[in-house]
Amino acid sequence: MPMVIYLDNNATTCIDPDVLAVMMPYLSDFYGNPSSMHSFGGQVGTAVQDARGQVAQLLGAEDTEIVFNSCGSEGNNTAIHAALAAQPDKRHIVTTAVEHPAILNVCKHLEKKGYTVTYLSVNGQGELDLMEVEAAMTGGTALVTTMYANNETGVIFPVEQVGAIAKYYGATFHVDAVQAVG
């Protein structure tokens, strides 16, 4: 049998045996709906709440600020649409040209719905120029959305500084941090 080398771990990787061992009871024995009132649901609901607390602690957030989705794309899509719905008079979005397709696809869709999207470039090292972020901002900018860590290059974006620029201009700042934790 030929040796196979898997080089796409940034997209999906084999589950760690320790993680599988912790998850197995919830895949075989504790399968109740966590929102249900019965004991099967209650056991799973407690586990979900515990996990929510662990994620909150990791991120320096409150338990009530953590929402679980089926995937990062769903979470990003929900956050972007909610941010835009909160500012219906603003129709401009600032993002980068190197975002994950989950972001780029929703931005392309929003352009068809009448939004203007500015796609910022990165330099040869994959870095974002903060002066370009500032130059892209307008009074009509509703949203600035960037990744935290690039899923292909590993470059870390200066999200604190980008967030400060967005805040200064009254725009919501969304960070796709799917690849950043861990």
Encode the chain (182 residues) as per-residue pLDDT tens digits: 789 898 888 778 889 999 999 999 988 888 889 888 888 888 899 999 999 999 999 888 999 999 999 999 999 999 999 999 999 999 999 999 999 999 999 999 999 999 999 999 999 999 999 999 999 999 999 999 999 999 888 899 999 999 999 999 999 999 999 888 76
Q: Rounded CA gap, 2 and 16, in Å?
A: 24
Pick from 65, 88, 105: which residue ends a domain?
A: 65
Sequence-ordered alpha helix ranges (H) in 16-129: 17-28, 39-59, 72-85, 101-112
User: Are 38 and 127 in a shared domain?
Assistant: no
pLDDT of residue 182: 64
Distances in Å between the Cα of 182 and the Cα atoms of 57, 64, 76, 91, 177 are 13, 22, 19, 35, 11
What is the domain extent for residue 54? 17-65
Question: What pTM was estimated for this model as a whole?
Answer: 0.85
Q: Are residues 159 and 84 in the same domain?
A: yes
Assigned domain for 164 exists: yes
Domain count for the chain, please give it.
2
- Clarify whether residues 88 and 46 are in a common domain: no
The answer to whether residue 151 is domain-embedded is yes
Alpha-carbon distance of 110 to 174, in angstroms, equals 16
Domain presence at residue 12:
no
